[in-house]
Structure 1
Amino acid sequence: MAGPLAGLKIIDLTTVLMGPFATQILADLGADVIKVEPPEGDTVRHLGPMRNPGMSAGFLHVNRNKRSVVLDLKAPGDRESLLRLLQDADAFITNVRPAAMARLQLDAATIAAANPAIIQLSLVGYGQDGPYAAKAAYDDMIQAACAIPSLIAEVGDGVPRYVPLAIVDRVVGQAAATALLAALVHRLKTGEGQSVEIPMFETMVPYVMSEHMSGLTYVPPNGEPGYRRLLSPSRQAYATQDGHVCTMLYTTRHWNDFFALAGQPNRCEGDARMRTIADRTRHIDALYAEVGEVLKTRTTEYWLDVLGSADIPVMRLHTLGSIMDDPHLRAVGFFREVDHPSEGRMVEMAPMGRWSRTQPASPRPAPRLGEHGEEVFASLGQAGSADSRSTP
């Protein structure tokens, strides 16, 4: 494996999306991630379009660069196999509820006894010291708990809808990868392993409230919650003569130049609402609505050209289909066709960033269930154990 994390061994006992997304980040960066799956496999293997059973599109996009072994952790022999895997691992990440891990006799103390230097990262729905500790947590539930649907209702038609992305799983997965790396840095300095708990709810609340706490920041409060610019109903993709365009007027220059391009060079003079960013934010609904009326007068291509030439932020509104043909993504090779050994030709997305010395790569496709059991356990002197089961 290439990448800056080459040499790290991570045991991955996670399923669905949040945990596998976190471990794919680490695997893309070069870590040896061993995905431990139950005999039926990760649930996501069986959801969505697929060419072969157990190899869904969703699974392929969050499990590349990993090795898969199968263990039934309710079976004593397989539990012992997991403990042997953990003995020389750098980290262990799981999204199994702590109570369930305790019933399997795989609590933090047991794992630390097997490997005192290991980093144990537990992904949970809610901090385990609070009253929500035992609640089931899914992306939609955490979005609701963080008031995200309420914000959408406020700027839309009053219906509290969820963001149509598994946004919580992705954000918390990224946070988990960051936390794991921080714990590994601490171990490099001290030699100390530790347990880290990353709760979905508490991780997501700052993503909402850092902008929207607003006047509630102060004691006593000096205003209402909510950042008005973000909550403007007119903050949207703007209609043009033939489609939509996305632009954002932020600085005083942006506003002056926009109205000059619209044939109103003196529009901002003498308007108290336009003097400063604070003034504009207080009146942003009306100002954005005025921008929308101007943009309706020309075509999308016209605005992309003239606003871009004036260095005013502007972007085409993509669909899920059109983004696949974006010229920038094509130029940087973001979507690439690869050959999967069992699934054939497929589209893969590039790993994170550009590195001058340790560029991450994708040498290992998403694994078939149990595909690497023999090689993983042969290295521990356990060839032929139950984990060697694999799908055809």
Structure 2
Amino acid sequence: MSAALENSATTHGLHASALAGLRILDMTNVVMGPYATQILADYGADVVKIESPSGDTTRQIPPMRHADMGCLFLHLNRNKRSVVLDLKVPECVEAFVAMASQSDVLICNVRPAALARLGITYEDLSARNPRLIWISLVGFGSDGPYAGRPAYEDLLQGLTGMPAMLVQAGSEQPHYVPLSFNDRVVGLHAAIALLSAVHWRERSGRGQFIEVPMFETMTQFTIGDHMGGQTFEPPEGPMGYQRTLTKERRPYATLDGFICLVVYTDKHWRSFFEAIGQPQRFDTDERVQSLRSRTTHAGALYAELAEIMRTRSTADWLELMNRADIPAAPMLTLDSVVTDPHLEAVGMFQLVEHPTEGVVRQLRPPTQWSESPPTVRLPAPSLGQHTAEVLREAGVDPAQIDQIVARLAQRGAAKPRHGS
């Protein structure tokens, strides 16, 4: 990492963080890319978020207190600086190239062909900055017939079998997992790939172009559990992991609510039968005496557990399972998870003062470090908040900076606020 980047790291309070001095140009929006770069930003990377004049689309997702500062945007873009550039304008392309020349990584979810039409290619950027790493987030790998197709969360869930698996596991109708499941998983893969490329560059001195495709990544992630008999050639049976696909694997109803219970190992089953007054059951029921047998008979065993769980209250079962050392937990809701006593004790949800949005609740970085811990240093930025600041750091001519900011201000973007 260059001295300029190290100086930038110190300037922005990154000197104690693990990724201090790593500058990332983030040309992504929505969830996948921003999730990846926020994790890296929490660990100290200087993430410069490149936005179009209309901004990241998540800025518009309600609820919000002010325009362009939607709730999801606030949760995906802290510790970043926002630069607005209209890459259809030549001087903005020049400014972008100047920034890329001083950066370690460019991560984007704009198709390379679209950027090439604007005059931005990996070959040109790497000629100016051979150490540049370009992470390209795409829906489908460039070698296959789906290359270039649009990819959205719901489409990827369907293509990787998730709604069909939910039906097989007991849902009456196909439905989607209600979160940005694919975006966040692929975002984690992108962050891992990025850091791996940085490590390789520190040994080789060379950057590289990396493609991270959603479909292939999620196929590995989702189907890995369910290869089943297709693991072998010729196949030894159907696909699917029987234990997790059984319709009876779900939170169990109690007298007054629901409980999540995992009776899995030999020890768990012995302890469970002792707890319910059937101490000889493990030795007499062949279905529970091995993991293989329990997997084969998972549906019937879980159905029996469901009937037993209905006989006591949730609190009674939690106390009994805790004494028996069997994993159990209450089924929380979106509302109650925020007040969970463990999460409250570790400070998972933090109230902070945002310079424009007032008091907001954020989730802290989840990991604990003895040294160089992740930190929250910057609030999610206003649109174009740091345009002039970052362009100055990149050595863009002051007159050109004024021209860019003025042009964007005429279009209602890149209004300097909070130190720009």
2:170/2:246 contact within 8 Å kept: no
Residue from 302, 308, 311 that aligns with 1:288: 302
Residue from 307, 315, 323 that aligns with 2:337: 323
Task: Tell me the secondary structure at the aligned position of residue 76 of structure 2.
Answer: coil
Residue from 365, 368, 377 that aligns with 1:351: 365
| CA offset digits 1:153-186 (Å, max 9, x no partner) | 1112341211011100000001100000000000
Task: Tell me the secondary structure at the aligned position of residue 283 of structure 2.
Answer: coil
2:348/2:366 contact within 8 Å kept: no
> Who is 2:171 aligned against?
157
Q: Aligned AA for 1:82? A: F
> Who is 1:386 aligned against?
404
Residue from 75, 100, 107 that aligns with 1:86: 100
State the identity as a percent: 47
Distance in 2, Cα, partners of 1:334 & 1:159: 35
2:20/2:44 contact within 8 Å kept: yes
Distance in 2, Cα, partners of 1:255 & 1:291: 11
Residue from 314, 333, 351 that aligns with 2:328: 314
| CA offset digits 1:170-203 (Å, max 9, x no partner) | 0000110000000000000010110000000000
Q: Map 1:191-270 onto structure 2 (within 5 A).
A: 191-270=205-284
Normalising to structure 1: TM-score of the pair? 0.98
Residues 1:29 and 2:40 are matched in the alignment: no
Distance in 2, Cα, partners of 1:145 & 1:387: 43
> Who is 2:411 aligned against?
none
2:98/2:395 contact within 8 Å kept: no
> Who is 2:374 aligned against?
360
Cα distance, 1:146 vs structure 2: 0.5
Task: Tell me the secondary structure at the aligned position of residue 328 of structure 1.
Answer: helix
Residues 1:116 and 2:130 are matched in the alignment: yes
Task: Tell me the secondary structure at the aligned position of residue 167 of structure 2.
Answer: helix
Task: Tell me the secondary structure at the aligned position of residue 120 of structure 1.
Answer: strand
Cα distance, 1:391 vs structure 2: 6.5
1:70/1:390 contact within 8 Å kept: no
1:70/1:386 contact within 8 Å kept: no
Cα distance, 1:257 vs structure 2: 1.1
Cα distance, 1:209 vs structure 2: 1.7
2:353/2:360 contact within 8 Å kept: yes
Distance in 1, Cα, partners of 2:395 & 2:138: 34
Q: Aligned AA for 2:146? A: Y
Residues 1:166 and 2:180 are matched in the alignment: yes
Cα distance, 1:102 vs structure 2: 1.6
Distance in 2, Cα, partners of 1:270 & 1:259: 11
> Who is 1:106 aligned against?
120
Q: Aligned AA for 1:114? A: R
Distance in 2, Cα, partners of 1:183 & 1:268: 51
Normalising to structure 2: TM-score of the pair? 0.91
Cα distance, 1:269 vs structure 2: 2.5
> Who is 1:177 aligned against?
191
| CA offset digits 1:365-391 (Å, max 9, x no partner) | 000001011211122333424157226
Cα distance, 1:107 vs structure 2: 2.0
Task: Tell me the secondary structure at the aligned position of residue 246 of structure 2.
Answer: coil
Residue from 301, 308, 333 that aligns with 2:347: 333
Residues 1:53 and 2:67 are matched in the alignment: yes
> Who is 2:11 aligned against?
none
Cα distance, 1:114 vs structure 2: 2.6
| CA offset digits 1:192-243 (Å, max 9, x no partner) | 1100000000001111221101110111001110000010111100000000
Which moved further from structure 2: 260-269 or 80-89?
260-269
> Who is 1:7 aligned against?
21
Structure 2 unaligned blocks of 5 or more = 1-13, 407-413
Which moved further from structure 2: 179-188 or 382-391?
382-391
Residues 1:303 and 2:328 are matched in the alignment: no
1:78/1:387 contact within 8 Å kept: no
> Who is 1:141 aligned against?
155
> Who is 2:3 aligned against?
none
Q: How many residues align?
A: 392
CA 1:391/1:299 → structure 2, altered by over 3 Å: closer, same or farther? farther
2:63/2:71 contact within 8 Å kept: yes
